[in-house]
Structure 1
Amino acid sequence: MSLLLKNVHVLDLNSPAHSKSANILIEKGVITSLNGRSASKEIDFKGKFVSSGWFDLNAQFHDPGNEHREDIQSGSTLAQSGGFTDVCLIPETEPPIDSKSDVSYVLGKAAGEIDIYINGAVSEGLKGENLTEMLDLRDAGVSAFSEGDSPIWNSELLMKALQYTASMGVPIFQNARDIHISAKTHMHEGITSTNLGIRGEPSLSEELMIQRDLKILRYSGGSIHFSRISSAKSVDLIKSAKESGFSVTCDVGIHHLIFTDESIGDFDAIFKVLPPYRTEEDRKALIKGIKDGTIDAICSNHRPYDQECKQLEFDLANPGNISLQTFFPSLVKISKEVPLEILFDRVVNGPRRVLNIDEVKIEVGKYAKLTILDTEAKWELNRQTNLSKSQNSPYWGKELTGCVLGTVNGSKATFNK
């Protein structure tokens, strides 16, 4: 079947049709014309936008182990509804993804709406002690390695992991936190934490680990990706490292570009996340890092949790939010400070560059990966519209601006109601 997307406004910095109206013809999963005239299925999207398909570098589906929070099927449907054609999952499941059979299980349950990539565990059982069979995991389909939401605290383990993966062409993802400085902390250390009487994590915890890891990287070789950076100093450290020729990349969680530690207000656990929201100064530095290219990608940092994990005293609640379905409304908010086409680049080809996989663009002859958008449509996240198994969103019950109309992933086209 052929598909014609009529009168779409293209936002793709790499496309010859960027910032122009196009009639995108797709045949057998490939873009065959940007000025198509007819197809077996035609949809007029006059006034709506299209970008290349989005790629999320960091999401958690809790499958296997805690499928009541999210499973691969619900997570895939959720990601597609949020505009994603590709998602990379962290290895933090029960059991963790640290063997070939674990990789086969996840890839075998892939639903088809999206393409799933996997972050394999660096250490056995995510315990930070012994390396996994990294080459076997890579052969099984792993695209990168990490310890999920835990840092690679063991310096020797990180050094060996970087050495082993140097020839594989895959990066090590690091959640940069010093486990001793961050122990028993629940938010950013600052004026707000002091006023609330909550033990806070200083940004020093993140910055020390980045400095340590860069020294190890210089010695060992390989590539390191700092996942979900959160402080102004971290942006400066990574920018300097890139200018010095280090093989280093980084991303930021979508909500860290919007919220700060002051969002916590009166002990609202919905704003307890990892890493913690920091100051307005840090948020502005992250925005600047997006603009100047220091930050390569924006990820969802999707962490679904049931009510029993979030509706607790602040220090007992699990850190994390759901964010895939509301990703585009978040981008619309951020577009007041950063042009949409730059934001799209950080969710389209920035993530693909991090993983050393082929970039995508809206061009004749290219495989069709597309996200179709309405920047003005308004909707509310509630029990009727929520597609996640969990409800831990800072947007719950709020009116949102920006709606994903559908995605195209090769021959698979999915249009949202």
Structure 2
Amino acid sequence: MTVPQTAAPRRFRAIAVQPKWSAENFISDDAFRGWLRGQLEAARPHLSPNRPNLVVLTELNGLPLVLRGAGWALPLKTFERVALALFLARLPRALPVLLREKVSPIRALQLAGSADNTRLYLHTCRDLAREYGVYLCCGSAPMPRYRMVGGQPVRGAATLTNQTVLLAPDGTLIGVTDKVHLTPDEEAGGVDLTPGELSEMRVFPTPVGDLGVAISLDAFRADVIGRLEAGGCTVLLQPDANGAAWTSKEGLPPDPARLRDQPVAWLESSWTATTTGRSIRYAVNPMVVGNLLDLSFDGQSAITGRAADATKLRSYVMTDPRPGFLALTPWVADGPHAELQMVGQQLAAHSGHPREDAYRTDVLHADLELPASTLAPPPRTPHEQALEIILKQVGQPRRIPSASVWVLAGLGLIAAVSALRRRH
């Protein structure tokens, strides 16, 4: 689409939603639609009636759609066991992908269901953007890269990136961004995603800012922030899913030995980008919370700006108050570091503590202003052209059958192990 531009200053409202998820939110189409709709409904009281609204959702909120149709597997309790059970149960669809495209079982499992899950994800977000009349950063989801063949979108072989999709209030596509820097849990030892290309990152001018997306770890990386700054980004979007206790230690590449408290590390992302950047004026960083099987997610969502725009002193727990936070979700507790670290452990999956899974949800908003944009919308990529077609499609995803093929489990396990051995 062509996003309308005016010479007048852009006044808009940014909204960050911090939701809580659980595996049950993803076992059916209706459960997923209801969970995502609940986030827009929570945002409704915060929507401005007289200026455009930008709603930003969280990272990997489409990843658990691999559980769609698999409520029977949840008693297995860990993501690793559930993934193996799903691969075996969905062997007729997953095994050909594994063998033909020479990918791992976990990527084959995701690619085998990607057509239906991508359509469900995109159509749900499209419908919500239209219904609530908002500019929507859908969060992010593992999705293939598509291209047009004979007038129809066709999935590219083997590729599965962590993608953010931006939609206009009429549900049409603004643009897509892939995550470039993957965490270890997203790489081959985890959900096995494909890193995006830095050269493909672009800035999208809209009435709610010149939007640049840096998914989670990308917002910590100088090459990503530098490219978005060079492209004229004024509003940085950082969808996030931090898979660790918020008060634990963090150490990630390129220096995993450099351990520091998670909240201290987070100051190196959006807050730094807005308080020290050149073109980036604001950043919106929503974070999902909750226990997903045996995985725990936690954090504090924030909207940040220049120090002069946000003079009130505040910050994440376990850090000193400072300017730059326009809006910030409180954590579940406050106090000495040792006490907070203990609370983080109590919240975690399978802790058995009364506080288990008692994370805080929230909705943040801030009214922002920017001068008129001088940027031109970037040209469509072949992938974006294909997603435009998917967004225009109607119809329901195919129903995933129950575990009726468990009789093939032994054969599936042998085939998967044999394929892995050939790859290594």
* Short-chain TM bin: 0.3 to 0.5
Return the structure number with greater relative CO, CA threshold 8 A, min gap 6.
Answer: 2
Query: TM-score normalized by structure 1?
Result: 0.36
